[in-house]
Amino acid sequence: MLNSDELRLFLAVMREGNMLAAARRVGVDHSTVARRLTNMEATLGARLFDRSPRGVTPTPAAFALVSHAERIESELLAAMSSVAGRDREVEGTVRLATPEAFASHLIAPRVAELRERHPRLTLELASESKAASLSRREAEIAVMLKPPPKGRFVTRKLADYRLGLYASKAYLAREGVPTGRGDLSRHVFVSYIEELAGFAEMIALDQLLPGAAIVFRASSSAAQHAAVAAGMGLGVLHVFAAAEDERLVQLFPESMPESMEVWRSYWLVMHADLQRLPRVRAAADFLEEVTRGMRERL
Q: Do 226 and 149 lie in a common domain?
A: no
Domains identified in the chain, total number: 3
Q: Do 110 and 139 lie in a common domain?
A: yes
Q: What is the CATH number of the domain that holds 203?
A: 3.40.190.10
* Dist. CA 204–CA 165, nearest whole Å: 10
Provide the 3-class DSSP secondary structure of residue 90: coil
Q: How do residues 14-60 score in pLDDT, each as one tens digit?
A: 877 788 877 787 778 888 888 888 888 888 888 888 887 777 888 88
Q: Are the beta carbons of 4 and 71 closer than 8 angstroms?
A: no
Q: Say if 298 falls within a structural domain.
A: no
> Which of 236, 247, 224 has the alpha carbon at shortest distance from 172?
247
Q: What is the CATH number of the domain that holds 57?
A: 1.10.10.10
> Which of 132, 152, 165 has the alpha carbon at shortest distance from 271?
152
Q: How high is the pLDDT of residue 188? A: 96
* Dist. CA 198–CA 49, nearest whole Å: 29
Q: Are the beta carbons of 260 and 164 closer than 8 angstroms?
A: yes
Strands 234-238 and 153-168 turn out to be antiparallel
CA 140 and chain centroid, separation? 10
Predicted TM-score of the model (pTM): 0.70
224: containing domain: 161-262
* Dist. CA 13–CA 277, nearest whole Å: 24
Q: How high is the pLDDT of residue 87? A: 39
